[in-house]
Structure 1
């Protein structure tokens, strides 16, 4: 009898090989798909953190520029990926913070020389050399991260195709031009944190009365900028839009120079120079202060924290002569902070800032003083010390607050974003799923909201017992025109979390840029430039129509092809000097789809 060999050992070996192959395949898929996705979330979270830090740096520069002295702040240039036992990470992401070279801000006006001053008020008008700051991340996965810029106190994110503002522009407010010029050179790169110490080098001056220069109808300011659209959207193109009493009069593409015109509302000018990086040299150029007893020079007043009132209005706050202690019930607890002016003033803008937003933050960050006082709320975020700043007019004050967190007796609703269905196409519904957990000792009910770039999209009421958690899904029904990159924020009354989402275009042409300026030379007119593109069809025509007070004047039509096109320095000539015109651009593709953009420009 012939016996067959036992094949069971061969079967076991084959099974082991197949199992090993499955393990290696799963590991490879994790390395290829999961690791990059997790690292992108780490990079996005860092990008949000550094935005907050750069806003704090911006606030420090402005506070020093209006109140003098020095203020320290930190910026974390890069981050670290989580350590992994088996999978490997790419090199840790880094970033660069640097000055962008020097250029002149020009204030074309005549300063008050009828009053007596210590210092020369003529130093405040004319050319002022300045620089700007730019932070550029070097991420491995989050490829669409913006460059964050601080230009003349205005902070914004500069994406490839759009600018998203982070702060209000501080240059114009309350009838006063407050110019803080930046001096120094800075170039720091790496993955760690750096400390910056903005320091007053000259001024701030008193707010000196000004008027249009001889032969001019308006005070004008020429501003070097890498993002004219951001300024245009904030200030507006007429005296009634955006910042009342000011308008964008034009943009010189060749010199990257934006021109602002101001009406009689803006009749005072204050200037200071602040050092950054290698510092610069202290001078008395902007140390311009009234020496007579007149009461019409600059409307100067002192600003200070009212510590006795802060203590009296908050049961858990105690203050000495120069600092306060806030014994907060828990994260999210708030204390009312009161500021006052001497003498009492009305209708003046006050701005608030903090030295460490991880310990405490203020809301609102600005407001209008009435009857000599104003209030903001300080929210406790962690144990530690935070300095709270207030600035208005030519003065400012600061107070350190020691925050001590208690166990808390109120519900503390923590928020964690679990995921989204991003990207979606215009017209589809974006969904964001988040977990909400009651970390407090009491039951409670709170509204949990979804916002994208500051606009409320959805809300849900959540009731939780102590220690209980629940998952909520919030939605945004997008429409045509919503395409773009957004920051989605899910917030309870105590906590918030953010993530990046993408709304993709449904197709059709788009206007990528459309800028206007006064025509140079003797022939009065308007010069314009544009760039257009299309994602799914050939372009056909671009038409620019010119209107005066709603009445058609002229038009220019260009035949275009391909998926992108642009024109520079096109013109309408023989127009009325000083008259305001409306230019409407319409781009059409071969399928008949169209997009429009409108600009207002004064002919010159």
Structure 2
């Protein structure tokens, strides 16, 4: 046979070479275009998940004032690309989570020109009060999503910071009408491991109860200053519903007079929020701990809760005080010492007490045999000595007025003492004051007893912003319930009970001249 010139196998070889070339080009295109696009989508989706995690972390921090235990928040620091049989992936994407400024006092919340009444005013007297704080930042390290933002939490706001813009992920919760809520961040956190990490948010100092503050002089304004990376224009957007376009108008539920920023410290601005004069503000503060090196809080001042200015007879009455830290929150386990001033009479049943879970201590004052008049009681968690200063933050001085003694009817005679009874004073068994829905009324509910059945009148007095607002007198024989031992009244008419702080005072008097008085704090939102 003649095989010379036979070329039948060449077409198969050429086809195989061309097919291999097509495969190489297709694989190259897949590696160059499809794989990066898919991986970029993986990185983008991961970044969306992290933003949601940071919002959860933000929610845990801003809820510290009402929290009773730590909250663990999981943050997904990194992700994985899908497995591929032939194509190659770059190294796995990662990210870091860290605190910033939380151990440096130049990054602080500062409250200025805020004054409180009573013993709390020993420490809240208008002087500037700084509290260290900072921010938490998540910084991604992606291969393909190169313009991914750094996600921050600071001053109640979570947001994304891009090179040319800031996009907020949450609203602010620092200011709501007259409510000011400040949560300081403390501790050191730096995590960059693969996968997820858990961040424990610990309530170092917290309480549901605010203090009432207002401008300390007629020419100053309460203000708060905080470090922030957000510009003034962004904060004006966040606070738009709280800024008063007509500063000084206290009737529109907007109390921010001005919002300004200055440069520093470091890469931050200092945001200053200035509030209107003449309003009472409910200031609630808390301290949240994350990571390592979280510092604890100790006693900063002692304040009275109940008993100052009270009127008692020759019996045992209670005086209640509260130990607080610099965030105005209760401190447990502190020994408080008490005694009667050298110029006063009577005695305390116990000379010391330890603060409970609410930071409170209760002392009993025994006025047996004490001549009617005002008696001074002194308390301190530093101990009592001859140099007692009632204006010092750690000390409290209370006045108790001893009234008509048991058995002293204030005059009169006869076999049954007339309408004066046997001299036993009335007592308040229970007493509450509350806002009655949205009806602009205050509801007063109380029960009381009078052993000798000579109760004469019940007086309810309301003070607004520590000033007299209105009073209502009920005569025992005509306006109380048929048994004469309780009252349930709604106060309304004349003057509107609008938003603000009130003190509701309940006073019982009998025909022998005995009087007992208690009061309750009430805030109408």
TM-score (norm 1): 0.46
**Shift, 1:8, TM fit:** 1.8
- Aligned partners of 1:197, 1:124: CA distance in 2, in Å? 34
Aligned partner of 1:252 in structure 2 is 262
Alpha carbons 2:97, 2:191 under 8 Å: kept: yes
Aligned partner of 2:48 in structure 1 is 48
Q: Give 2:288's match in structure 1, choosing from 262, 274, 277.
A: 274
Q: Give 1:113's match in structure 2, choosing from 105, 113, 117.
A: 117
Runs of 5+ consecutive residues of structure 1 not aligned to the other structure: 295-299, 301-341, 349-370, 372-604
**Shift, 1:197, TM fit:** 1.1
Change (3 A) 1:53 1:286: farther
RMSD of aligned residue pairs (Cα, Å): 3.5
Listed as ranges, the matches of 1:229-378 within 5 Å are 229-236=233-240, 238-240=243-245, 244-246=254-256, 248-255=258-265, 256-263=269-276, 264=278, 267-284=281-298, 291-292=305-306
Alpha carbons 1:134, 1:147 under 8 Å: kept: yes
- Aligned partners of 1:121, 1:213: CA distance in 2, in Å? 9
- Aligned partners of 1:134, 1:346: CA distance in 2, in Å? 44
- Aligned partners of 2:109, 2:244: CA distance in 1, in Å? 21
Alpha carbons 2:111, 2:128 under 8 Å: kept: yes
Q: Give 1:130's match in structure 2, choosing from 121, 128, 133.
A: 133
Alpha carbons 2:212, 2:280 under 8 Å: kept: no
Instruction: Tell me which structure has the larger Cα radius of gyration.
Output: 2
Deviates more, 1:257-266 or 1:20-29: 257-266
- Aligned partners of 1:282, 1:290: CA distance in 2, in Å? 24
User: Is 1:182 paired with 2:146?
Assistant: no
Listed as ranges, the matches of 1:515-526 within 5 Å are none
- Aligned partners of 1:155, 1:282: CA distance in 2, in Å? 26
Listed as ranges, the matches of 1:186-225 within 5 Å are 186-204=189-207, 206-214=209-217, 216-225=219-228
- Aligned partners of 1:227, 1:27: CA distance in 2, in Å? 46
Change (3 A) 1:232 1:284: same
What is the SS of the residue equivalent to 2:38?
helix
Deviation track 1:276-319 (CA, whole Å, cap 9, x = no partner) reads 1115122135788761379xxxxx9xxxxxxxxxxxxxxxxxxx
Change (3 A) 1:122 1:201: farther
- Aligned partners of 1:146, 1:172: CA distance in 2, in Å? 27
Deviation track 1:180-210 (CA, whole Å, cap 9, x = no partner) reads 1011011111321111111111233731111
- Aligned partners of 2:292, 2:437: CA distance in 1, in Å? 38
Alpha carbons 1:64, 1:200 under 8 Å: kept: yes
What is the SS of the residue equivalent to 1:198?
strand
What is the SS of the residue equivalent to 2:130?
strand
Change (3 A) 1:43 1:194: same
Listed as ranges, the matches of 1:479-490 within 5 Å are none
- Aligned partners of 2:31, 2:435: CA distance in 1, in Å? 62
Q: Give 1:149's match in structure 2, choosing from 147, 152, 156.
A: 152
- Aligned partners of 2:126, 2:83: CA distance in 1, in Å? 56
Aligned partner of 2:64 in structure 1 is 64
- Aligned partners of 1:67, 1:6: CA distance in 2, in Å? 90
**Shift, 1:246, TM fit:** 1.8
What is the SS of the residue equivalent to 1:281?
coil
What is the SS of the residue equivalent to 1:143?
coil
- Aligned partners of 2:437, 2:87: CA distance in 1, in Å? 59
- Aligned partners of 1:347, 1:138: CA distance in 2, in Å? 53
Runs of 5+ consecutive residues of structure 2 not aligned to the other structure: 247-251, 309-327, 329-431, 443-525
Change (3 A) 1:5 1:211: same
Alpha carbons 1:204, 1:286 under 8 Å: kept: no
- Aligned partners of 2:283, 2:437: CA distance in 1, in Å? 17
Alpha carbons 2:160, 2:166 under 8 Å: kept: yes
Alpha carbons 1:98, 1:133 under 8 Å: kept: yes
What is the SS of the residue equivalent to 1:185?
coil
**Shift, 1:254, TM fit:** 4.0
Change (3 A) 1:253 1:130: same
Deviation track 1:562-583 (CA, whole Å, cap 9, x = no partner) reads xxxxxxxxxxxxxxxxxxxxxx
- Aligned partners of 1:123, 1:215: CA distance in 2, in Å? 12
Alpha carbons 2:98, 2:191 under 8 Å: kept: yes
Alpha carbons 1:203, 1:288 under 8 Å: kept: no
**Shift, 1:80, TM fit:** 0.7
- Aligned partners of 2:221, 2:215: CA distance in 1, in Å? 5
TM-score (norm 2): 0.52
- Aligned partners of 2:124, 2:209: CA distance in 1, in Å? 9
**Shift, 1:248, TM fit:** 4.6
**Shift, 1:90, TM fit:** 0.5
